[in-house]
Chains A and B, each alone.
Chain A
Amino acid sequence: MAPAKTPDISSKRLSKTDYAANFSELHPPLSPHEALVESDRCYFCYDAPCMNACPTSIDIPLFIREIQAGHPKSAAKTIFNQNILGGMCARVCPTENLCEEACVREKAEGKPVKIGMLQRFATDQAMEEKHPYTRAKSTGKKVAIVGAGPAGLACAHRLAMHGHEVTIFEARKKSGGLNEYGIATYKAVDDFAQKEVDFILSIGGIAIKHNMMLGKKLKLKDVQRDHDAVFLGVGLAGVNALGAKDEDADGIEDAVNYISELRQAKDVAKLAVGRNVLVIGGGMTAIDVAIQSKLLGAENVTILYRRGAPHMKASTYEQDLAQTKGVKIMHWVAPKKVLVKGGKAVGLKCEYTALKGKTLESTGETFELAADMIFKAIGQTYMDVLGGTLALDQGRIKVDAEKRTSAEGIWAGGDCVAGGKDLTVASVDDGRRAAESINQFLKS
């Protein structure tokens, strides 16, 4: 009889080759031949739906035509004109919900042009080259950016292009924000996030200061005093609480922290994962942590979501991917109580939910699931460390269309602002828009 598989949390569950295979790139890049075949499929639509579906409004038909006509580096420039983080967006964008969902060939034959893969093909080639932009003549104006995530980097690049001096203050040790700390490992291999940061900074005129957390070492009024304008791209530092009892027991983790640890791990084999893993949530973070737990060698990984599949923030594509990787998704289930034994989480008491009209209600019917590890992936929150300096909207910083906050001279963008889509690409758009607004402000 095989030995009983006792519940545990353990590292080194797999062989070296398994780890390497599991954390290699999910979608390898297109070969030049594949890129030509794929680019031939684009219809060059008028006022293209894909372009309108892109939060950064990349001229997709044009860049695909440039690939098709033999100039992938021109294609990359077309992409970077709208989205300087086009390389990362090509890897992490939920294209199935954006450009590729809008692609007319999706409607025509259920097979959209692989826009994301083509974008990657173009940007990969251009990033090996000399930086494609040159700075305008120095304006002598100084702009501070808080947060070296996608919004901050996009903002910094555009401001540097316009000739302003930019200083980025970043709370963490490395730049990149969620690109560095939050993206699933298999989506951006080979240290791509850092390579992209280097690419962006190579325009010149951008300095980054790390370990500078707003509200601690860094005071907003000092920043304001020393700069002509400020952009805040601080992201979401808070994590939502579960609301179930005993959520502080051992074995309960915030998914974002775990993903960050995994991204920073030099050797993923050293990362411990439970044999039975439960993930609570329905967004991309839930999917990412579930898949990666599975890839680390967890035997049973179950996502618990309180509503149905169509309500999940994670795309159908991502849900399918999780299921392909062996993750089980349970819908209409809410956590009620963490089961604890000797200070350790050993399971979760759950309750079925149902919609009554438009409100979600508990049915009263409960069940228990065993677990060694429980991940909370139920959303993050904006932590207001500015003590009410800026007006908020639904708990995040309130901004106008140009990304101006309620305070003169302060702009904000990315996940920390209200109405955001919580997407890398949307943050990039915020950053670029804010930079254009700041540029107008500094010129006037």
Chain B
Amino acid sequence: MADLRSNFVGIKSPNPFWLASAPPTDKEYNVVRAFKAGWGGVVWKTLGEDGPPIVNVNGPRYGAIHGADRRLLGLNNIELITDRPLNINLQEIKKVKREWPDRAMVVSLMVPCEEMPWKNILARVEETEADGVELNFGCPHGMSERGMGAAVGQVPEYIEMVARWCKQYTRMPVIVKLTPNITDIRMPARAALKGGADAVSLINTISSIISVDLDNMAPMPTIDGKGSHGGYCGPAVKPIALNMVAEIARDRETHGLPISAIGGITTWRDAAEFISMSAGTVQVCTAAMTYGFKIVEEMISGLERWMDQKGYAILEDFRGRAVPNVTDWQYLNLNYIAKAKIDQDACIKCGRCYAACEDTSHQAIMKEKDGKRHFEVMDDECVACNLCVEVCPVENCITMERQTTGTDARTGRKISDDYANWTQHPNNPMSVKAAE
């Protein structure tokens, strides 16, 4: 059986599945339930400065996008950092860590962008014997208006500065949590690295208005006729997170910087994908908030089974294996030729591939053969765009088949085994010509 144990910048956990800093990790009760359910670790919901507790709205905090059958695809929230007193949180953190020594206990922090508040709170967290801290530079709503959260995360210089303070004032590993609400994720990641951070975690939520209440003409969730943007998360954001993780993983400067990945992780497969993209641990929130803590059982058994099938004994055996295969468009092999193929036995004749291809793509699918409803790809028109594959409701009914011999029926060109990319292409004015 595969060994899922994780050692992330010295923070050990029995599996790489952590609960992200969020409502599920706001107090002892939830965290103990999570550990009983099997979660490998938690990032405790963000603590703020000592003083009067944070105030949350008393109306709805969440909004969502649903898929078929009301399956929750995306969630947004306008909740702030913990609204419980600092000393209670710290006491509970200490107690839970003592009772669950094998689980990762990371504490999320957000205080004003000044040296003393960071110094003060780090000292108090250290007393809890927590395993590490995560700097919340990501929260895009509420706190950012007060110069914290994403307001810091959007300025690389601040990230570097705060990371440096933290490394100076604590022996604990420092993880910098990044906001996706920036143009180039590599900049804040490089800043975190420069500041001495041990790792980054990403993504925090994406600034969003999830929907408009058309009766009240106000964003949802609506509080007394008004709404403000929130932070978007859940399965819908996974592709954005995966790209940002990949960007950091393959950046020359940040390559090798430990990453705790966050963003729509719902099943073992999502976790495996992020780990293959170099994540050391994965953090989950929306899936737990949607289905409860029990989902970790599927995540653990699924990851174990898949690793066993693939012959991976430990996480390091496949961690980051997908990173070298992330490249820029210009390096993709333009000599790679594929054609869509419809498995006629699996086809249920819904015609969605036809509608998609005919109306919006390359008119490469026929809808009739011998007077009968029949959907078949015409190789002489197919550019292998994959749209039909994605709109087909039957799994594996339409596949992309690589062509390795003969000619491409669409272009009439002979299929070549040679690798040739855009940088070498004759149509590219910048193409590199072989020396004469």
Question: Interface of A with B (CB < 8 Å)?
Answer: 36-37, 40-41, 43-49, 104-105, 107-108
- Using CB atoms, name the residue of chain A closest to B358: A46
- Quick check: B352 and A44 within 8 Å, CB to CB? yes
Selected contact of A40 from candidates B69, B348, B355, B393, CB within 8 Å:
B69
Known contacts being A104-B349, A108-B348, is A47 close to B367, with CB within 8 Å?
yes
- Quick check: A46 and B367 within 8 Å, CB to CB? yes
Known contacts being A43-B393, A47-B367, is A104 close to B69, with CB within 8 Å?
no
- Quick check: A46 and B355 within 8 Å, CB to CB? yes
9 closest residue pairs by CB, A with B? A46-B351, A46-B355, A40-B68, A104-B348, A45-B350, A108-B348, A104-B350, A107-B348, A43-B350
- Quick check: B394 and A41 within 8 Å, CB to CB? no
Question: Interface of B with A (CB < 8 Å)?
Answer: 68-70, 348-352, 354-355, 367, 373, 393-394
Q: Residues of B contacting A43 with CB < 8 Å?
A: 350, 352, 393
Bound Cα distance from A105 to B367, whole angstroms: 18
Bound Cα distance from A105 to B348, whole angstroms: 7
Bound Cα distance from A37 to B348, whole angstroms: 21
- Quick check: A45 and B68 within 8 Å, CB to CB? no
- Using CB atoms, name the residue of chain A closest to B365: A46
The listed residue with most B CB atoms (<10 A of its CB), out of A37, A43, A46, A108, is: A46
Q: Residues of B contacting A47 with CB < 8 Å?
A: 351, 367, 373
14 additional A-B pairs beyond A46-B351, A48-B351, beta carbons within 8 Å, are A36-B70, A43-B350, A43-B393, A44-B352, A45-B349, A45-B351, A46-B350, A46-B352, A46-B354, A46-B367, A47-B367, A49-B349, A104-B349, A105-B348
Q: Residues of B contacting A40 with CB < 8 Å?
A: 68-69
- Using CB atoms, name the residue of chain B closest to A107: B348
- Using CB atoms, name the residue of chain B closest to A36: B70
Q: Can you offer 30 A-B residue contacts whose CB atoms are under 8 A?
A: A36-B70, A37-B69, A40-B68, A40-B69, A41-B68, A43-B350, A43-B352, A43-B393, A44-B352, A45-B349, A45-B350, A45-B351, A45-B352, A46-B350, A46-B351, A46-B352, A46-B354, A46-B355, A46-B367, A47-B367, A47-B373, A48-B351, A49-B349, A49-B373, A104-B348, A104-B349, A104-B350, A105-B348, A108-B348, A108-B393
Bound Cα distance from A47 to B351, whole angstroms: 7
Min Cβ gap A108→B in Å is 4
Q: Residues of A contacting B354 with CB < 8 Å?
A: 46
Q: Residues of A contacting B68 with CB < 8 Å?
A: 40-41
Min Cβ gap A71→B in Å is 13
Q: Residues of B contacting A105 with CB < 8 Å?
A: 348
- Using CB atoms, name the residue of chain B closest to A109: B348
Q: Residues of B contacting A36 with CB < 8 Å?
A: 70
Selected contact of B349 from candidates A37, A41, A44, A107, CB within 8 Å:
A107
Min Cβ gap B30→A in Å is 30
Q: Residues of A contacting B352 with CB < 8 Å?
A: 43-46
Q: Residues of A contacting B394 with CB < 8 Å?
A: 108
Q: Residues of B contacting A104 with CB < 8 Å?
A: 348-350
- Using CB atoms, name the residue of chain A closest to B375: A46
Bound Cα distance from A108 to B395, whole angstroms: 11
Min Cβ gap B362→A in Å is 16
- Using CB atoms, name the residue of chain A closest to B391: A43
Min Cβ gap A41→B in Å is 7
Min Cβ gap B356→A in Å is 9
- Using CB atoms, name the residue of chain B closest to A105: B348
Q: Residues of A contacting B69 with CB < 8 Å?
A: 37, 40
- Using CB atoms, name the residue of chain A closest to B71: A40
